């Protein structure tokens, strides 16, 4: 019997990253369930992880989300598969509690079995589809709202007021034991360093290509480093590819500028460590567009990198540390 099974959405690495941050403050027995490259990230921190989920990929062309309704139907099929998988996992490990990071299938099964459920999430509804197809999404959102209301606790990694079963703890970020200078030496960052990250998805290929094109046109006394997750081949000698890393937060801390898709966890890590950032959303991805908007960016900024990069790399660092991970862990611990 386990105390907790974490079910971490494998759509992007941000879910697993913040679950790791929380778990580092929980001295109780736990196991993770996820998929894609997330189990590799989780295992790198010494936690047991089952690689079971296979989410449908977004179809992205030139940085734009294609046919979101089609993806939504694929996601619903994936959701039903996840219910079967989570049922088997709960039968196998008999946890006292399920902590889900935007994996709603596991919550449904756990609630049916009377297991305590805690949800970690950025969003309370989705808005991928417009027009007549949005009726399908609205129906899915009603189901999601019902699941959320049945949770013992909902943890949101943002600042704001609490309401009903929702507690906002502030951003949840992994910490480092190293100084920035130590990390720069570890990563061989010997000059001004620009890091471009794809946030663990295939969706960032367009951003990598545009960043490399802009960098090659510039005469900056700087180094370009790509965190591609080993997914993309680079057709330039002007960038160094780190491939997959399990400590992106430390790479961001060591960098002088981060350019990334507008995933919440990467933005939070940039703000936490004070590294200036340029955040380009996938066009048509409502969550990324909202995240980017709050940071002052939009999809069209990808065509203004030649101007933005020289400006942002000179920006003064302004770290804003949070204790969201500790707060989340304390809340979870109180349920035992």
CATH code for the domain in which residue 224 is found: 3.40.50.2000
335 falls in which pLDDT band (50, 70, 90)?
Answer: confident
This prediction's pTM: 0.94
Model confidence pLDDT, tens digit, residues 271-312: 999 999 999 999 999 999 999 999 999 999 999 999 999 999
Segments forming the whole domain that contains residue 25: 4-174+324-333
Q: Do 222 and 97 belong to one domain?
A: no
Domain tally, the chain: 2
- Domain assignment present for residue 95? The answer is yes
Q: Do 42 and 91 belong to one domain?
A: yes
237 falls in which pLDDT band (50, 70, 90)?
Answer: low
- Domain assignment present for residue 318? The answer is no
- Are 233 and 254 a contacting pair, CB within 8 Å? no
Model confidence pLDDT, tens digit, residues 118-139: 999 999 999 999 888 799 889 9
Q: Do 156 and 185 belong to one domain?
A: no
- Are 51 and 35 a contacting pair, CB within 8 Å? yes
- Domain assignment present for residue 319? The answer is no
Q: Do 236 and 149 belong to one domain?
A: no
pLDDT above 90 coverage of the chain, percent: 88
pLDDT the model gives residue 121: 97
Q: Do 133 and 36 belong to one domain?
A: yes
Cα dihedral 297, 302, 308, 314 sign: positive
pLDDT the model gives residue 235: 57
Q: Helix (H) and strand (E) counts for the chain? A: 12, 14
Model confidence pLDDT, tens digit, residues 138-183: 999 999 999 999 999 999 999 999 999 999 999 999 999 999 999 9
- Domain assignment present for residue 81? The answer is yes
- Domain assignment present for residue 273? The answer is yes
Q: For all residues of the chain together, what is the average pLDDT? A: 94
pLDDT the model gives residue 287: 94
pLDDT higher than threshold 60 for residue 231: no
Backbone dihedral angles phi then psi of residue 269, each to the nearest 5 degrees: -65, -40
Host H or E run for residue 204: none
Q: Do 144 and 293 belong to one domain?
A: no
Q: Do 85 and 136 belong to one domain?
A: yes
Host H or E run for residue 10: none
Q: Do 93 and 221 belong to one domain?
A: no
């Amino acid at each position: 019997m386990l105390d907790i099974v974490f079910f971490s959405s494998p759509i992007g690495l941000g879910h697993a990253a913040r679950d790791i941050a929380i778990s580092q403050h929980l001295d109780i027995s736990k196991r993770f369930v996820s998929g894609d490259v997330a189990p590799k990230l989780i295992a790198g921190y010494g936690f047991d992880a089952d690689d079971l989920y296979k989410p449908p990929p977004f179809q992205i062309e030139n940085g734009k989300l294609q046919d979101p309704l089609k993806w939504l139907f694929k996601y619903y099929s994936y959701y039903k598969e996840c219910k079967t998988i989570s049922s088997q996992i709960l039968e196998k490990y008999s946890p006292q509690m399920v902590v889900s990071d935007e994996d709603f299938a596991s919550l449904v099964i756990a609630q049916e079995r009377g297991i305590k459920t805690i949800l970690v999430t950025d969003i309370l509804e989705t808005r991928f589809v417009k027009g007549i197809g949005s009726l399908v999404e609205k129906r899915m959102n009603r189901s999601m709202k019902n699941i959320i209301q049945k949770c013992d606790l909902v943890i949101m990694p943002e600042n704001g007021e609490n309401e009903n079963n929702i507690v906002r703890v502030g951003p949840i970020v992994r910490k480092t034991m190293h100084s920035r200078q130590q990390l720069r030496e570890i990563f061989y960052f010997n000059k001004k360093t620009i890091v471009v990250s794809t946030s663990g998805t295939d969706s960032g290929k367009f951003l990598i290509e545009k960043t490399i094109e802009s960098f090659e046109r510039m005469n900056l006394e700087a180094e370009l480093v790509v965190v591609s997750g080993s997914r993309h081949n680079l057709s330039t000698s002007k960038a160094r590819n780190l491939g997959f890393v399990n400590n992106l937060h430390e790479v961001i801390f060591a960098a002088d500028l981060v350019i990334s898709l507008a995933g919440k966890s990467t933005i939070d890590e940039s703000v936490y460590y004070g590294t200036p950032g340029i955040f380009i959303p996938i066009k048509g991805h409502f969550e990324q567009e909202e995240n980017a908007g709050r940071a002052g960016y939009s999809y069209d900024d990808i065509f203004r990198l030649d101007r933005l990069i020289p400006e942002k790399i000179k920006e003064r660092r302004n770290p804003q540390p949070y204790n969201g991970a500790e707060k989340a862990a304390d809340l979870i611990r109180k349920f035992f």
